[in-house]
Structure 1
Amino acid sequence: MQGSSVELNDLSDEILLLIFKKLEKTEVLYLFLGVNQQFTRLVNDSIFTNRLTLTKGFVDG
């Protein structure tokens, strides 16, 4: 019996949204924006873009 594999791209929008909701909003934007059309469309959903706080950090060095 041969094993089968499922890639993230194979999952439905509904499943991906459930996964994305478990992550921090900024992580979702940085990780998935621009990966492919499906991910970009999902990440642009108001769930992730409403009340988004972006901060800028500085590294000492």
Structure 2
Amino acid sequence: MSIDILSLEKVYDNLSFAIDKLPEEKRSLFLTKLVLLLSNEIKDAELICRLINEALVFEA
């Protein structure tokens, strides 16, 4: 199951707005909390870890 492009853009915009509202020193904590909250909803540790590793590929 995947998210449609318009919904993905909505998530991206909402995430960008939230990050921009925070002071730089609080952004890492926010992202960590967000991942933990989303992980609680997904309930699949293997998938979550795979996605974290995939996200690293884009940052390298």
TM-score interval, normalised by the smaller of the two chains? 0.3 to 0.5
What TM-score, normalized to structure 2? 0.35
**Which entry has the higher C-alpha Rg, 1 or 2?**
1
TM-score by length of 1: 0.35
Q: Could you say which structure has the higher helix fraction?
A: 2
